[in-house]
Chain A
Amino acid sequence: MDRRSFLATGAAAAATLSFPAILRAQSRDPIRIGFPLPLTGTFAAIAADLQRGAQLAHEEINAKGGIMGRKLEVLFRDDQLKPAVGAQRTKELIENDKADFIVGGLAAHVQMAINEQTKAAKKLYISVSQSDEISAKPDTSPLTFHEALNPTITSRAMAQFGMQNIGKKWWIVYADYAWGKQNNAVFAERVQKLGGTILGSTPYPLGKPEFSAHLPKIQAAKPDAILAVTPGADNVPFLKQAISFGLKKEAKIAQPLHFLFYTKEGGAEVFQDIYGATHFCHELAETIPEAKKFVEAFQKKFNQPPDAYSTYGYSGIKEIARGVELAKSTDSDQVANALRKNREYNHYKGKQYWRACDNKAFQDLWILRVRSPQQVKGEWGLFDVVGKVAANEELERTCAEKGFA
C-alpha cells in the first residue's frame, strides 16, 4: 500500500466513523410494523383510541433514535371489522409493504383471521383485543402473543368482585356472539362456584338494542344484580331501557368492561353506579407513576385523555421495540424467544409479564364504578376505582387446559 492510497483509505474510514449514528441509521431500511384495525364499523371509536396509543409509542421510539438505530414505521390498515378483509390487509402488509411484525386486530373473529396469516408467513403477531382462543391451542402459535385481557380473566375477576361486593343472585343479559357467550359461560360458572345463584340468562342479537321484551321477565325474577354484556352501541340503550322500566332501581348492574368514551356519551346520569372492569383508566395516573407519564404524554399529543384500548396499542408497539433490542435482530423467532426469556415488561401502568407456555400477558386489572353526575370531575373524570385485581394466573385457564402439555 503506497502513501497515497493509505491516506485515502484512512480518510474514508475516519469519515465513516465520525458520521453521527443517526445518519447511518437513516441510510438503512426502517423496521416496519403492520397494524390492521377496524377504523370503520361498530368498534370504530375504540379502534381510533387504539390507533392513538400506537401512534404515541411510534413517535416516542423514533424521537429516541428508533430501534437499534433504525427508524420505526407503523402502517395502519382498515380491516373493516371483517375477517376476510383483515386477512387480506395482513397478507398485503407482509408481502407488499414488507412488514416485519404485526400488531393489532380488534374483534375476536378478525384477530383469528389475522393470526392465520401471520402464522403462515412466520411473522410475530401481538394481538391487542379480547379473545379466549387466540392464546389457546389449536389457534395460537409460538409467534402469537396476546397483550389484552380475555373473557375468562375479565369475567372471573368480575364474578369474584361481584359476589363480594354487589350481590349473590344474578341475571345475565348477553349479546349472542363469541365474546358475549364466553362471558356468560365464565361468569355463570364462577358465580355458582362461589356459592351464588344465576336466576337466568338472556341472549339478544348483537347490534339490536331493543330489550323491552326481556325486561319484564328479569324484573319478575327479582335478581340482586344484573351482568350486562351489551358491548358497543348496545350499552347505552340497555341502560336507558333498564332505567325506564324501573329495573335500575330494583337491581345493581355490572358489565364486564367499562369504556370511557361510551360512558361519557351516555352520561353519568345513565351510567351512575354501574360497575365494570378495565385494564386501564386515566384515573390510575393519580396513583401509578408510569400511568401518570403515559396519560400526560397522551393528553399533550391528542388533547384528550386516553380510553383503555390506547394502552394496548401503545404497549404492543413498545413490546416489539423491546424484543428487537433484546434479540438484536428483526427475525420473528428470535424476537419471540427474547420476549419469553425476558418476560417482564412495564410500559404504562407497572409490571406485566408473558407466560411462557401460551405467550399470554398477565397484568393487573381494576374494577370501576361510575360516579354520580354531581361527583364527576371535569369533563372526563367519570370513574371511581373501587377495586384492584392483581395479575393472577388463577383467573386464567391453566396451560394444560389451554392444550399445552
Chain B
Amino acid sequence: MFDITFAALAAQVFTGLVLGGILVLMAVGLSLIFGLMTVVNFSHGALYMLGAYVAFTFLGLTKSFWLTLILAPLVVGTLGLLIQRFLIRRLYGRSPDDPLLLTFGLSLVLVESVKVVWGKVGLTVDPPRDLAGAVNLGFMNFPVYRLFVVAVTAVVLIGLWLFLEKTNVGLIIRAGTRDPLMVRALGVDLGRIWLLVFGLGVGLAGLAGVLAGPMRGVYAEMGVEIIIECFVVVVVGGMGSLPGAIVAGLLIGEIVSLTTFFAPKLAEIVVFLVMAAVLLIRPSGLFGEAGLAE
C-alpha cells in the first residue's frame, strides 16, 4: 500500500534527527537539574518559550541572529539563576512536590506575562539569510537552517560533555549527583553548584527556544506542547541520566517522524506507548539508576 523508497525513508530519518535535536537540548537541561537537585522543573517549557520571545526582541534590536543566539540563552539562563536563588532555594529540605508545584505555577505566570508584554497573537522570526535556503542532499531538498540546528545541538553536547568530564566543576557536579552528602562532607559548597546547574539547564531550554522560533513560530503556548514530550524523553532515558536524555531524545524524534510517515494519526500516541513499554521492562528508564527518583 505504500510506495516506500530508500529516498523517502532517508528523508524521514533526517527530519526525525532535527525533531530529536530540539528535544535533546531540552531534556538534557531537565535531566541535569533533576539529577543533581531532584527538582522536577515544570517551568522548563515556559522558559523555552521565553527564549523564543527574548530572541524575537533581541533580533529586532541587534539585527544580528548570531548575537541573539548567544545573548538570548544568557538572559534566560540568568533568569534561571534568579529563580533558583530566590524561589527554589527556599524549598530545600521540603518534599519534592513543593518545587514541582512552584515551577508549575511559575510556568503559568510566565505564559500570561508573555501575553501581556508581547501580545496574544503569535510572532514570526526569520532564519538568517545565510541559512534560509534549502540544500540538495541527493534524496531530498532539506532546509539549511534545520541542518544548522543539528550542528548546534552537537556542538553544545560536546561542550557539555567536556565541561562535565574535564573540568573540576564538572567533577563536583558528577559527584554531587552520586552522593551530595559526601560531597558536602568534603567541604564543597553545593549551593553554588546547584545555582550554576539550574542556570545552565534553563539556559539550554532558552537556546532550544531560540532555535525553534524560526521553524515553528513564536507563541505563548509553545512550551506547553513540548514539555510533555520532554518529560517522556527524560523518563524513557532515565531520570537524571545525560546519555539517557540524548539517546531517548533522538529515539523519540525518529519514532515520531517514522510514525508520521506510516500512520500520522498514531504519531501522538506512539510516544506514550514507547514510554509505557520502557517503564514495564526497565522501570528506571534506559540509562537510569534505580532509586534516584525516590
Contact = CB atoms under 8 A, between A and B. Distances in A.
A213 B16 contact: yes
A236 B264 contact: no
Given A236-B124, A244-B143, A213 B19 contact: yes
Nearest to B120: A44
Given A236-B217, A261-B121, A244 B134 contact: yes
A219 B225 CA distance: 26
A217 interface: yes
A216 B221 contact: no
B134 A213 contact: no
A245 B124 contact: no
A213 B267 contact: yes
Interface in A26-60: 40, 42, 44-45, 48
A270 to B, nearest CB: 7
Q: Give chain B's interface residue range (CB within 8 Å of chain A).
A: 35 or more
Nearest to B260: A213
Nearest to A244: B143
A231 to B, nearest CB: 12
Nearest to B144: A244
A237 interface: yes
Interface in A208-244: 208-210, 212-217, 219-220, 233, 236-237, 240-241, 244
Of A48, A212, A217, A236, most buried by chain B (CB within 10 Å of CB) is A212
Interface stretch (A17-25, A132-140, A187-195, A198-206): A198-206
A246 interface: yes
B219 interface: yes
Nearest to B7: A220
Interface residues of A, number: 36
Contacts of B19: 210, 212-213
A262 interface: yes
Contacts of B142: 245
B122 A233 contact: yes
Given A233-B122, A240-B217, A246-B134, A204 B264 contact: yes
Of A48, A265, A267, most buried by chain B (CB within 10 Å of CB) is A265
A48 B146 CA distance: 35
B79 interface: no
Interface in A100-149: none
A207 B261 contact: no
B15 interface: yes
Contacts of B122: 233, 236, 265
A212 B221 contact: no
Nearest to A47: B120
B221 A213 contact: no
A394 B238 CA distance: 58
A176 interface: yes
Of B11, B214, B217, most buried by chain A (CB within 10 Å of CB) is B217
B216 A267 contact: no
Nearest to A214: B260
Contacts of A196: none
B155 interface: no
B292 interface: no
Given A208-B225, A212-B257, 20 more contacts: A44-B121, A207-B221, A213-B12, A213-B256, A214-B264, A215-B15, A216-B8, A217-B8, A233-B217, A236-B122, A237-B216, A241-B143, A241-B215, A244-B127, A244-B132, A244-B143, A244-B146, A244-B215, A245-B141, A265-B123
8 contacts: A209-B216, A213-B256, A220-B8, A237-B216, A240-B124, A240-B217, A245-B143, A267-B124
Interface of B: 5, 7-8, 11-12, 15-16, 18-19, 115, 120-124, 127, 132, 134, 140-143, 145-146, 214-217, 219, 221, 225, 256-257, 260-261, 264-265, 267-268
